[in-house]
Amino acid sequence: MGCEHAPPRVPGVEARTDDVQVTWPDGHAGRFPYFWLRENCPCQQCTHPEAWERIVDFMALPLTVKPDSVDADRAGLHLTWPSHDAPCDGTHYSWEWLDDHRLERHARLARKRRIRGWTGSMVDKDSLAVSHDAMMARDDDLERLLRHVDSTGVGFVVGVPTDRLAVTEIAQRIAFVEESHFGRHFDVLSKVDPENLAYTPNALQPHNDLPSRQHLPGVQLLHCRRNDVAGGDSVFVDGIAVACRLREQNPAAFDLLSSLSVMFRSVAADWEIANRAPIIAVDEDGDVVGTRVHPALLGPVDIEPDEQPAFYRAHRELLSIALEPEMQFSFRFEEGDCVIFDNARILHARTAFDSTTGYRHLQGCYVGRDDLRSRLMVLRRRGADYRIR
Interface with Zn ion by CB under 5 A: which residues?
A: 41, 43, 46, 88, 209
Residues β-bridged to residue 54: 47
364 binds, among ligand OGA, Zn ion, none (CB under 5 to 8 A by kind): ligand OGA
- Residue-by-residue DSSP string for 322-337: HH-GGGEEEE-PPTT-
- Candidate residues 234, 258, 275, 363; the one interacting with ligand OGA per rule CB under 6 A: 234
The letter for the amino acid at 227 is: N
Residues β-bridged to residue 290: 281
Between the CA of residue 370 and those of 238, 342, 366, what are the distances in Å?
19, 11, 12
Please, what is the minimum distance in Å from the beta carbon of residue 114 to ligand OGA?
A: 28
- Candidate residues 67, 336, 364, 368; the one interacting with ligand OGA per rule CB under 6 A: 364
- Candidate residues 46, 135, 198, 243; the one interacting with ligand OGA per rule CB under 6 A: 198
115 binds, among ligand OGA, Zn ion, none (CB under 5 to 8 A by kind): none
Q: Which of residues 207-226 bind ligand OGA (CB under 6 A)?
A: 209
Cβ burial, residue 146 (10 Å; 0-12/13-18/19+): buried
The helix (H) or strand (E) run that includes residue 317 is: helix 308-323
Cβ burial, residue 121 (10 Å; 0-12/13-18/19+): exposed
- Residue 220 neighbours by CB under 8 Å, 6+ apart: 209, 340, 341, 343, 348, 364, 365, 366
345 binds, among ligand OGA, Zn ion, none (CB under 5 to 8 A by kind): none
CA distance 207 to 5: 51
Please, what is the minimum distance in Å from the beta carbon of residue 350 to ligand OGA?
A: 4
Q: Which of residues 136-165 bind ligand OGA (CB under 6 A)?
A: none
Please, what is the minimum distance in Å from the beta carbon of residue 297 to ligand OGA?
A: 11
Our CB check for ligand OGA shows the closer of 143 and 209 to be 209
Please, what is the minimum distance in Å from the beta carbon of residue 108 to Zn ion?
A: 25
Please, what is the minimum distance in Å from the beta carbon of residue 223 to ligand OGA?
A: 11
Which residues sit at the interface with ligand OGA, rule CB under 6 A?
188, 198, 204, 209, 234, 348, 350, 362, 364
